[in-house]
Every structure is written in C-alpha cells, then in structure tokens.
Amino acid sequence: MTLQLQAFDRVGIGSQVRQSDFRKYRQVLSQSTKDTLVNDAVSCATSNFNGACGLRYIQKGSRSICSVDSYPTILVLRKIASNLSCFTRTKTGERNNLIKVLLAFLREEVGFRIYRLDVSRFFDSLSIDEATAHVKTGAVTQKTSELL
C-alpha cells in the first residue's frame, strides 16, 4: 500500500463511509451533511483528536469493548484500521486454512457435535507487535503514526 493511499484527506476518509452507515446514521443520506461530517473527520484527524477521541470502554464478561459515539471519529478510526490492515492481510488466509483443516478433521468417521465454533476469538485480528514494527519502520504515514 502506498503512502498516498494512507492520506487523511477528504477522499481517504470519505472512502470509509459504508453502505450500512446509511441505515445506522440517517444524517449521512444528505450529501451536504455527509460532506460536513467528512470535513469534521478530516479536522479531527489533523488535530490528532484534539487530545482525546472519546473512546468509552464497556466490560462484557471478560472482554473489554470500545465504543465511540461521534461519527467523524468513527471514520478516522476506520481509516487508521484500514491503513494498518494492509500489513496483516496474510493472516486472514492462515485463519481460513485453519478453519478448512478443522472442518475436514471434524468430517472424519468419528462423530462430533459442534455446539459453538468461534475460531476468530482464538486469534487477534491485528498483531500489536507487527503493527508497532511497521509504524517504526516508516511503512505508515507520519499522520497514522501520530494518531496511534
């Protein structure tokens, strides 16, 4: 992924608007409001969240879940995740291969019952050490590095 594709400008952050956002955030349906929200996201990114990004932590069982209320902040966080995910895409293939092997094993002659198979909980989606190494080597833009 080139550094130009990692830019925190109107185009880069605007590309983070998803189809599902139109259902959840009705205000995005209006083009003028959408432009305003994207501009707010760009200014949020250029100011490094003004010192805080408004993360709330919710404890659900043994898991800590983060949530954000501000749509512009969500767009910036999606852009950061998008910039970092370009380095970890190979892990998805490994996870898919593991699932195929597990399913093949479970289809053998011995009968098994699967009550719940949630392989994704056994793997981190993003290796923090790998992401930190890429940030230190300059593989991500200075802006992504500052926002992290």
**pLDDT score, position 1:** 45
> Among residues of the chain, what percentage have pLDDT more than 70?
69
**pLDDT score, position 106:** 67
40 vs 71: CA distance, rounded Å: 9
Helix-, strand-, coil-residue percentages of the chain, each rounded to 5: 60, 5, 35
pLDDT, tens only, 44-97: 888 877 766 677 888 888 888 878 888 888 898 888 888 877 766 655 567 677
Query: Nearest 5°: CA angle at 15, between 10 and 19?
Result: 135
pLDDT band at 141 (very low <50, low <70, confident <90, very high): confident
The answer, as to whether pTM is greater than 0.75, is no
pLDDT band at 36 (very low <50, low <70, confident <90, very high): very high
